[in-house]
Amino acid sequence: MAPTVVHGKVLVGDSGGEFGVRGWLAALDANSGKLIWQAYKTGPDKDVLIGDRFKPFYASDKGTDLGVKTWPPDAWRVGGFLGLATFLPSFFYSQFHVSKVQAGSLTVLATLTGSLTRILGGWFADRIGGITTLSVVFLLAIAGLFGLMSTPSLILTTLLFMLCFAALGAGNGATFQLVPLRWPLTTAVAGGMIGEIGALGGGILPNLLGQSKQHTGSYRSGLLLYAMLAVAVLVMMRIAARSWTRAWVGSGGRVNGELSAFHSEMVPSEKSVMEIAT
């Protein structure tokens, strides 16, 4: 997030979530730069800085160390995208009885694919629009999830997980193409909130798969539920996009002409910046 000065303190932070780290917010002394406090968004209460003065309204929010207990084992340490990745070694190990080293190597293939496609997703979003790119991403992820329901071979399972992670990575790039268009003045805050939602969403799939395996003996029910959720979100996005394209973004999620002209007027050219600097 962009540094923000409040009452003599400089607030800085990292949304974390899909980047495999815990999000955090810290306050630095504006004069000395010394750390005053730092709070994480997941983990035990002492890390999140939840104390006796915290009085939650909802009963579900009452309790201790919910930032640990409500996550799959150890997933709170790394956030959403990597929260799913931490589940894959266990999946490969239990489903195909491969060694732990092989399970880790197969997981790397999936996560590396997801990391590489983030740039590709942003590149496509800049050219065909974030909404169109996200629609394709959802369809690819849904296809991958349905493919995994058939309990395919190890090679095909790995390829399907690579497809799902590639779609997730590209979707990340497409999402953040839309963020500054929708919230041009509060991009950092919006990005942080989206990272938080992504972290929570990433923790749902491992939990669903674990519950599915425990109660039904297979992962199929969990994959089906998650695929249905993805279909529902895709439909809602397409419906909402009708109003988006009439208000703040062009067809398919492209930057519209008026907004582009506005940014051209507001953003100084390289020459003007050099003139100001000198």
SS3 40: strand
Asked if residue 142 is part of any domain, the answer here is yes
Question: pLDDT at position 52, please?
Answer: 84
More confident residue, 235 or 274: 235
- Identify the band that residue 214 occupies on the pLDDT scale cut at 50, 70 and 90: confident
Segment 174-181 mean pLDDT: 90
Q: Rounding to the nearest 10 degrees, give the CA dihedral for residues 132, 136, 139, 144.
A: -150
The two tokens of residue 201 are 């969403």
Asked if residue 199 is part of any domain, the answer here is yes
Asked if residue 8 is part of any domain, the answer here is no
pTM: 0.66
Is residue 250 predicted with pLDDT exceeding 60?
Answer: yes
Q: What's the pLDDT tens digit per position in 233-243?
A: 999 999 999 99
Segment 254-273 mean pLDDT: 53
Q: Domain residues for 130? A: 73-266
More confident residue, 245 or 202: 245
Q: What is the mean pLDDT of the chain?
A: 81
Segment 246-267 mean pLDDT: 69
More confident residue, 246 or 59: 246
The two tokens of residue 143 are 């296809």
Asked if residue 25 is part of any domain, the answer here is no
**Sequence-ordered alpha helix ranges (H) in 42-153:** 45-48, 66-69, 80-85, 88-96, 100-128, 130-149
Of 152, 137, 151, 154, the residue nearest 221 (C-alpha) = 151
Of 46, 13, 20, the residue nearest 199 (C-alpha) = 20
Q: What is the DSSP string of 123-185?
A: HHHHHH-HHHHHHHHHHHHHHHHHHHHT---HHHHHHHHHHHHHHHHHHHHHHHHHHHHH-TT
Question: pLDDT at position 140, please?
Answer: 96
Asked if residue 110 is part of any domain, the answer here is yes
Of all residues in the chain, the percent with pLDDT exceeding 90 is 32
The two tokens of residue 246 are 């009439």
Is residue 105 predicted with pLDDT exceeding 60?
Answer: yes
Asked if residue 216 is part of any domain, the answer here is yes
Instruction: Please tell me the distance from the alpha carbon of residue 259 to that of residue 250, in angstroms, as a whole number.
Output: 9
Instruction: Please tell me the distance from the alpha carbon of residue 142 to that of residue 136, in angstroms, as a whole number.
Output: 10
CATH number at residue 159: 1.20.1250.20
Side-chain half-sphere CA neighbours of 198 within 13 A = 26
Kindly tell me the burial class for residue 155, based on how many C-beta atoms sit within 10 Å of its own C-beta (0-12, 13-18, 19 or more). exposed
The rounded radius of gyration (Å) of the Cα atoms in the chain is 21
Question: pLDDT at position 193, please?
Answer: 77
Asked if residue 84 is part of any domain, the answer here is yes
Segment 148-171 mean pLDDT: 92
Range in 14-18, 26-30, 45-49, 171-175 with the lowest mean pLDDT? 14-18
Q: What's the pLDDT tens digit per position in 25-50?
A: 889 998 888 999 988 877 888 888 88
For residue 38, give the H/E element and its range.
strand 35-40
Number of domains the chain contains: 1
Question: pLDDT at position 21, please?
Answer: 58
What letter would DSSP give residue 256?
P
Q: Among 21-25, 82-86, 270-274, which range has the highest average pLDDT?
A: 21-25
Asked if residue 162 is part of any domain, the answer here is yes
- Identify the band that residue 262 occupies on the pLDDT scale cut at 50, 70 and 90: very low
Q: What is the DSSP string of 3-34?
A: -EEETTEEEEEE--GGGSS--EEEEEETTT--
